[in-house]
Amino acid sequence: MLAIETEQLVKTFDNVHVLRGLDLAVPTGQIYGLLGLNGSGKSTLIHLLLGFLRPNRGNVRVLGEHNPERIRGRVGYLPERLRYHMRYTAREYLHYLGRFSDLREPHLSDRVNAELRAVDLLEDADRMLNTYSKGMLQRLGIAQALLHEPELLLIDEPTSGLDPAGQREVFQLLSDLRGQGHTIFLTTHMLDEVEQLCDRVGILFRGKLAGELDSWQLRTTGHNVQIIVASMTPELMLRLQRLDPAVRCQGYEIRIDPNTPELQAAVLRLLLEANVSVISLKPASRNLENFFRRIVSGEPTPTPESPPAEPTPTPESPPAEAEPAPAADVAPGRPSTGETLLRELLSSEQARWRRPDQDQE
Amino acid sequence: MSTLRRTTSFITFTLIEYVRSGRALLEMLATPVFFYLFLWRGVAQLDYFFTTVGLFTLALTFSVTSALFRLGDRPQSYLVLVRRISRSSYLLGLYLASLFVVLVYYVLICIAALLLQRVAGLDLRNWLLGSAPLLLNAALFGALLMLLSPIVLPSGWRLTILALGAIALSGNLISGPMVEQLGSFNMVLDVLRTIFSTPLVPAFTGFAMAISRDYGQFGYLILIAQAALTIVLLALAVYAFSRNDLIFNSN
């Protein structure tokens, strides 16, 4: 079933076309991220989905309903700007919003406390909202959106206007929602947010859906790989660079360009032998960033036709031969080679840690 | 039943916001000032009492309704409307909240006048006969203000309604030599004036009835006409609001 469906959606304000025939389909249970430049119509789309705006042409169906009045109470909404009724305490505010959603005592109080606890505002629940920081307000925003346990959550630019600490807090809360099976529709212009949170990403450009990517496409290894390590000795640096001219070291960063699975494995083995902790291993050029840039600059983008046979390899059935993704950033490929090798590394480390115990046995 | 409960919650929510915003101070101060200026100095007759209180109630209705609809015209309201509060409940909630405030101040003034014995002959019968058309006028005026609020009608429609109101009231402004200069256009204006001033008849007659408390043979029909006109304006406002794009004032 589709949580959101739009067909040829057109919205115009004073003869300015904001949406020009948008076709969008978001299945239930998915976290869908809609990327777009500022002013591309992301908030307009959310307001159309919520029934605040009426389309000039086209159809909108949310949770299978054409009539927005029928989805009232089934949808949670986190607005872009931190605009709440500031002359209430958080507890009072959530109580009223709960009553508007038909929640009744004692369930209402339970839900309010549960949500305040979930966003870590229980201790500040009786403070007026006008004394809250932006980060706290955005956490309250998440609490109010989830208060009535909606089937669908519409989130508009969740980290907009927040300082890095506030962004981290909100990001963490949204990451926690991932595991709870909510259908989430998220709009943003922050690539990191969608890359890490979303199952599928669409790009809104010039009023239309200019392209879509699935999470497996987002996470395929790029042509280059960047490895960040916790420590690096000059000897190790030399040994790494002797492996291949493609391996370059600088400070705590190792870059393999171009990357091959063999070379990547060799580098990781050297690091393992030298007892060096790997902090991160990631594609040096990001698929989504390139995809987005291509769309915005009007370059042609290859469209993947089907997902890989094994989008998420399990330890029981690892891919036999891991190959790096082709140069085309969005072409379907095998799941992250880096991930596979990391898993090898981890299992080898686990084996190393397990050995003394086994010896004792 | 759920709709009623949600709307009542929303009215309470709006009233708390109104009081905590500090905007309520204006009316809180204006009411005792009005009482001191117009009713404190001596014992007033009933005609005088209902005339002054009637006009003050209309001013109060204007002030409170404008304030509450300004509070309702903010992006915060999206979080209310995304819930089970329908657009009509939202709009009527704002309207009923403003009417409630007006009613409270009206009752307070009347209680003060009664306790301090500032009005001669103010008994329950006279109070009811004078108050009913005055309060219906306040409700009617509030409904008109709601219809003219920016969240309900776009500026083009609001200007049109104000222009029609100006035509309806133009009889007092256009007279003497000006009428002769208008020539045949004056006939057209007369017809338009008659048409557009008809809805104002219940309001003006109601005000006159409140002062005189003389309902005559058809006085109760005026009360019904006031109520009916209020309902028509409310229905128009709810209809317009339900079809609008909701774009709240973000300033």
Per the model's pLDDT, the better-predicted residue between B186 and B4 turns out to be B4
Model confidence at A229, pLDDT cuts 50, 70, 90, reads very high
Tell me, what's the pLDDT at B53? Answer: 94
Tell me, what's the pLDDT at A138? Answer: 87
Q: How far is CA A39 from CA A35, A189, A205, A305, B248, in A?
A: 11, 10, 10, 30, 18
Is residue A50 within 8 Å of residue B80, measured between CB atoms? no
Residue of B79, B80, B151 best to disrupt the A interface, most CBs of A under 10 A = B79
The two beta strands, A31-36 and A200-205, are parallel
Residue B199 DSSP class? G
Tell me, what's the pLDDT at A95? Answer: 96
Is residue B52 within 8 Å of residue B106, measured between CB atoms? no
**Does A319 score more than 50 pLDDT?**
no
Q: Could you give the CA distance from residue B7 to residue A346 in angstroms, rounded to a whole number?
A: 59
On whether any CB of chain A is under 8 Å from the CB of B243, the answer is yes
Is residue A143 within 8 Å of residue A94, measured between CB atoms? yes
The two beta strands, A200-205 and A183-188, are unpaired
Residue at token pair 């086209």: A58
Cβ distance B17 to A77 less than 8 Å, yes or no, reads no
Q: In chain B, what residues touch A185 (CB-CB under 8 Å)? A: none
Beta strands (DSSP E) in A105-195 are 152-156, 183-188
Q: How far is CA B19 from CA A88, A190, B15, B138, in A?
A: 11, 40, 6, 21
Cβ distance B81 to A87 less than 8 Å, yes or no, reads no
Tell me, what's the pLDDT at A316? Answer: 36
Bridge partners, residue A27, by sequence: A2
Q: How far is CA A93 from CA A109, B11, B98, B191, B249, in A?
A: 12, 14, 21, 53, 21
Residue of B3, B25, B82, B244 best to disrupt the A interface, most CBs of A under 10 A = B82
Phi, then psi, of A37 in degrees rounded to 5: -70, 165
Top-confidence range, A292-301, A343-352, B36-45, B175-184: B36-45
pLDDT tens digit sequence for B116-170: 888 888 888 999 999 999 999 999 999 999 999 999 999 899 999 998 888 888 7
Q: How far is CA B226 from CA A263, A329, B94, B238, in A?
A: 87, 70, 20, 18
**Does A161 score more than 80 pLDDT?**
no
Model confidence at B245, pLDDT cuts 50, 70, 90, reads very high
Q: Could you give the CA distance from residue A164 to residue A169 in angstroms, rounded to a whole number?
A: 9
**Does A213 score more than 90 pLDDT?**
no
**Does A357 score more than 80 pLDDT?**
no
Q: How far is CA A53 from the centre of its chain?
A: 27
**Does A340 score more than 50 pLDDT?**
no
Q: How far is B109 from chain A (nearest CA, A)?
A: 29
Tell me, what's the pLDDT at A284? Answer: 67
Q: Give the closest residue to A45 by CA, choosing from A137, A152, A154.
A: A154
Q: Give the closest residue to A184 by CA, choosing from A14, A29, A15, A2.
A: A29
Q: Which residues contact B152 (CB under 8 A, 6 or more apart)?
A: B91, B146, B237, B240, B241, B244
Per the model's pLDDT, the better-predicted residue between A132 and B250 turns out to be A132
Tell me, what's the pLDDT at A170? Answer: 79
Cβ distance B82 to A75 less than 8 Å, yes or no, reads yes
Residue B45 DSSP class? P
Q: How far is CA A261 from the centre of its chain?
A: 27
- Residues belonging to chain A with any Cβ–Cβ distance to chain B shorter than 8 Å: 47, 50, 52-54, 69, 72-73, 75-77, 79, 81, 83-85, 87-88, 96-97, 99-102, 144, 148
Is residue B141 within 8 Å of residue B61, measured between CB atoms? yes
Phi, then psi, of A279 in degrees rounded to 5: -80, -45
Tell me, what's the pLDDT at B222? Answer: 92
Tell me, what's the pLDDT at B173? Answer: 64
Model confidence at A299, pLDDT cuts 50, 70, 90, reads low
Tell me, what's the pLDDT at A292? Answer: 75
Tell me, what's the pLDDT at B194? Answer: 85
Q: Could you give the CA distance from residue B75 to residue A156 in angstroms, rounded to a whole number?
A: 14
The two beta strands, A152-156 and A75-78, are parallel
Is residue A198 within 8 Å of residue A31, measured between CB atoms? yes
ipTM of this predicted structure: 0.87
On whether any CB of chain A is under 8 Å from the CB of B4, the answer is no
Q: In chain A, what residues touch B2 (CB-CB under 8 Å)? A: 102
Nearest CA in chain B to A150: B83
Cβ distance B2 to A144 less than 8 Å, yes or no, reads no
- Whole-number percent of chain A with pLDDT over 90: 39
Cβ distance B75 to A69 less than 8 Å, yes or no, reads no
Of A73, A76, A79, the CB nearest to B78: A79
Residue A21 DSSP class? E
Tell me, what's the pLDDT at A72? Answer: 86
Q: How far is CA B114 from CA A50, B34, B35, in A?
A: 51, 16, 12
Q: Could you give the CA distance from residue A55 to residue A59 in angstroms, rounded to a whole number?
A: 8
- What's the rounded mean pLDDT across residues B38-59? 90
Top-confidence range, A18-22, A297-301, A321-325: A18-22
On whether any CB of chain A is under 8 Å from the CB of B74, the answer is yes
Tell me, what's the pLDDT at A257? Answer: 79
Q: In chain B, what residues touch A72 (CB-CB under 8 Å)? A: 82-86
